[in-house]
Amino acid sequence: MTATASPAAPAVSSRAILFILATVFLDMVGFGIIFPVLPALIGDVGHVTLGQAAIIGGWMGAAYSLTQFLSGPLMGNLSDRFGRRPLLLIAIFGLGVDFLLHALAPTVGWLFVGRVFAGLCGASWVIANAFLADITPPEGRGKAFGLMGAAFGLGFVIGPAIGGLLGEYGPRVPFYAAAAISGLNFIFGYFVLPESLPPEKRRSFELRRANPFGAFKVFRTYQGVLPMCAVLTSFFFFSSVYPAVWPFWGKAQFGWSEATVGLTLAAFGVVMAVFQGALTGPAVKMFGEFRTVLIGLVAATLAATGYGFAPGLAVVVALMIVHGPEGFVHPMLTALMSGRVPENAQGELQGGISALTNIAMLFGTLFFAQVFGHFLEGPRADPNMAYHIAAVGMVMTLGLFLWVVGHDGGKT
């Protein structure tokens, strides 16, 4: 089934769209702020070695991803029933509470509670994507989701920068700042955010649709969606090497401080924001959606390979430029799938995509954290092994995408 353009998109103010982008931005700030201070925070609370902290960090990331996996389809389907506005505001308020939990955590167990709460509230990006789908015709969604990707990238600039710089004053300080920012965003959204899904386009809530595993069955209705989901799942599994090991790898391989870790992640966020926000539209216009995904997967393969052999900071920074086109993959695959789903199921689609990507990141984060911890503390220490494995995985993902396109009957 192929979606058709809605005859009349609801009028939405520029302030509301700004709020949607700001919400996704702040989600990523919260996701990124923890990375530079994570080794120090786990070490401070749990009194463990760097390798042990990496493994604990992997389990924390898995807790976050598992919660998003379970809550994403639920949030998406609830927004199809009750509208986007109330669900977004609840999630934003919860993010502020989550940041306070991290700031006040007395034990490692409380850090896990904070990560679970962050995963639940972080599903706001599912509703934000559905909001954009409500107000954007199918042919414009690639660009719209590219802007959403840019908001992710910018959040990943500010989040690690805050975490790294404020982390110099203590690993808990950045979270107080993030809690204040989320509170201000909630107040802003309460006054400016309209509803993008009119009552006549809503549908009744069905628990089976909110089941993250049930989403796979629902997707069978829409031709060509499941194969693209497989590509997206593989991509997120192997790209999860970066949140799983980056700060630990920087410390182990190069002796980076919290500030350096934060600045490298901020630089990476700038690159991703430029590629997703400024270059996604021109890339699609020049190459088409299929070739844009292809370029992104090739870049992802080259970057993972390069990081595994990088001799120092200068090469790492240069590799970030090579890495940039990877930012095309997620919005383009999302746009390809969105065009095959009817208008009243966009929330369900985004919830299902959230489930797939988060279960991939759950297992990927666990896998790469275990690999890093094992090879860091083993008799033949090699902090780069996780990147070598990720590079091989990206080659496999590229091959899977080419196979899917070859069997799609020329519809991609």
Element (H, E) at 265: helix 258-273
Query: pLDDT tens digits for 62-99?
Result: 888 788 777 767 777 777 777 778 888 888 888 888 88
Torsional sign, CA 160, 65, 43, 384: negative
| Structure confidence at residue 209 as a pLDDT band (50, 70, 90) | low
Gap between the Cα atoms of 203 and 256, Å rounded: 51
DSSP percent split of the chain into helix, strand, coil, nearest 5: 85, 0, 15
Amino acid identity, position 314: A
23 Cβ partners below 8 Å, 6+ apart?
88, 92, 124, 125, 128, 185, 189
C-alpha torsion sign, points 56, 57, 61, 67: positive
Pick from 19, 6, 3: nearest CA to 195: 19
Q: Kindly list the structural domains of the chain, giving each domain's residue range(s) and its CATH number in brackets, ordered by start.
A: 14-191+222-406 (1.20.1250.20)
* Of 38-52, 124-138, 257-271, minimum mean pLDDT range: 124-138
Residue 410, pLDDT score: 44
* Pairwise CA distance, residues 8 & 282, whole Å: 26
pTM score, whole prediction:
0.71
Query: DSSP letter at 83?
Result: -
2 pLDDT tier (thresholds 50, 70, 90): very low
Other Cβ atoms closer than 10 A to 61: 26
Across 116-128, b (16+ Cβ under 10 Å) vs e yields bbbbbbbbbbbbb
Helix (H) or strand (E) holding 268, with range, is helix 258-273
The answer to whether residue 227 scores a pLDDT higher than 60 is yes
State the amino acid at position 192 in one-letter form. Answer: V
* Cα 325 from Cα 299, distance rounded (Å): 6
Q: What does the alpha-carbon distance between residue 140 and residue 411 come to, in Å, rounded to a whole number?
A: 18
If you average pLDDT over residues 92-113, what whole number do you get? 85
Cα 382 from Cα 254, distance rounded (Å) = 13
Residue 4 has pLDDT above 50, yes or no: no
- The end-to-end CA distance of the chain, in Å, is 14
Per-residue pLDDT at 308 exceeds 90? yes
